[in-house]
Amino acid sequence: MQLESSYPFPNGMRTNNRLVLAPLTISASLAGGIVSDEDAAFYRRRAGSAGLLITGSAYVHPLGQAYADSFSVADDDKIPGLAKLAEAMKSQGNLAILQIYHGGRMVPATLIESQPVAPSAVAAEHGEVTVPKSLSNTQIEELLQDFLAAIRRAMVAGFDGVELHGANTYLIQQFLSPHSNRRQDKWGGTLNNRMRFAKTLVKRARQLIDQESPNSFLLGYRFSPEEIEVPGIELKDSLALIDQLIRLGIDYLHVSMDHLWQSSLRKTEENTPVILAIRDKINGRVPLIGVGKVRNAEDYKEALKSGIPLLSMGTSLLLEPDWLELYRSKAESEIRTYLDEENLADLALPQNFVRDYGSYYSKP
């Protein structure tokens, strides 16, 4: 069965099936962003649910924290907790990836008790946001160092790789976006300059990994193909970025979209799924991870048939960690698709998560 066949990354590592646990921020960490027992329990329960498990995003600098009670990879004192997380995630023989990010202008000022930083002093058009402070050139260099230090910590903690979170309007995406990046120096202006932060980061990360952990640590990149803002990221910008990231040695690309088969958010007259343009651009050079409302095996088969080799599931594995097991044993009708009281303990969902989102995931 193709869904259960293993798949290689360019560096020779393999995932043992085509399922990926999408990154999910579950807001259960301890003060200062330390991994809690609830964090570890959530991921231990999902070990084996997919071949590749990706953590919710960990912030690389305290000013980059966009969610309360999320975990940090900003200091060495976070390594023991992260090591606990990596061990829990890998306990069934699958790969574990740490997603790393900085929230930039999407960080609530109230959370960090400071003005957020971003490529330019332009506020986002949505969310609980303020006008950010524009980063100096020196601060941009420091941020790149923060990301590299985070990658080193992920290695020490025992993860099999990192995913650079270049999606969902956070800082890496903010450099690419002509809405959030109005700089006129080498970090902004032309598309090539707006790509410079992502390119520099991937180039340096590749060098670090090749030095420290050659062929045994993955470097992934997640991106949102388009933005709705005007000006904003267009699909052609993302397709150009893909070429650059592959050239610089990325090990996989992971899209972030609401629906796997969605068409352009910007060119609403077009109805071709955006993922197919991305698939064609990548042209098999690196694995592509698709995402978005994948709920059952039929969705999976359709995606694999159309040449998308890996698919991540967020909601489905949040609500049913035994999805693959039930699919294997042909008991798909038993797959849970909503939360109910009786299941809560079995799902190892953190208390705060259930308090804040329990009703959202309950049966209507």
Ligand X SMILES: Cc1cc2nc3c(=O)[nH]c(=O)nc-3n(C[C@H](O)[C@H](O)[C@H](O)COP(=O)(O)O)c2cc1C
Contacting residues toward ligand X, per CB under 6 A: 22-25, 56-57, 99, 165, 167-168, 222, 256, 291-294, 313-316
Between 120 and 173, name the residue whose CB sits nearer to ligand X. Answer: 173
Between 79 and 97, name the residue whose CB sits nearer to ligand X. Answer: 97
Q: Which two tokens stand for residue 170?
A: 């956070």
Least distance in Å: CB of 206 to ligand X? Answer: 21
Least distance in Å: CB of 307 to ligand X? Answer: 20
Least distance in Å: CB of 262 to ligand X? Answer: 11
Give yes or no for a contact between 141 and 130, defined as CB atoms under 8 angstroms apart: no
338 is a catalytic site residue: no
Between 180 and 316, name the residue whose CB sits nearer to ligand X. Answer: 316
CA distance 297 to 279: 20
Between 38 and 183, name the residue whose CB sits nearer to ligand X. Answer: 38
Q: Whose CB is nearest to ligand X?
A: 314
Q: Is the dihedral of CA 147, 148, 149, 153 positive or negative?
A: positive
Least distance in Å: CB of 224 to ligand X? Answer: 9
The alpha carbons of the chain give a radius of gyration, in whole angstroms, of: 19
Least distance in Å: CB of 34 to ligand X? Answer: 17
Instruction: Determine which one of 43, 67, 101, 170 is catalytic.
Output: 170
Residue 353 corresponds to which amino acid? F
Least distance in Å: CB of 57 to ligand X? Answer: 4
Between 95 and 120, name the residue whose CB sits nearer to ligand X. Answer: 95
Q: Give the 3-state DSSP-derived string for the chain, with helices as H, strands as E and coil as C.
A: CHHHCCEECCCCCEECCCEEECCCCCCCCECCCECCHHHHHHHHHHCCCCCEEECCCEECCHHHCCCCCCCECCCHHHHHHHHHHHHHHCCCCCEEEEEEECCHHHCCHHHHCCCCEECCCCCCCCCCCCCCEECCHHHHHHHHHHHHHHHHHHHHHCCCEEEEEECCCCHHHHHHCCCCCCCCCCCCCCHHHHCHHHHHHHHHHHHHHHHHCCCCCEEEEEECCCCCCCCCCCHHHHHHHHHHHHHCCCCEEEECCCCCCCCCCCCCCCCCCHHHHHHHHHCCCCCEEEECCCCCHHHHHHHHHCCCCEEEECHHHHHCCCHHHHHHCCCHHHCCCCECHHHHHHHCCCHHHHHHHCCCCECC
Residue 117 corresponds to which amino acid? V
Between 23 and 225, name the residue whose CB sits nearer to ligand X. Answer: 23
Between 16 and 352, name the residue whose CB sits nearer to ligand X. Answer: 352
Least distance in Å: CB of 56 to ligand X? Answer: 4
> Which residues are known to be catalytic?
170
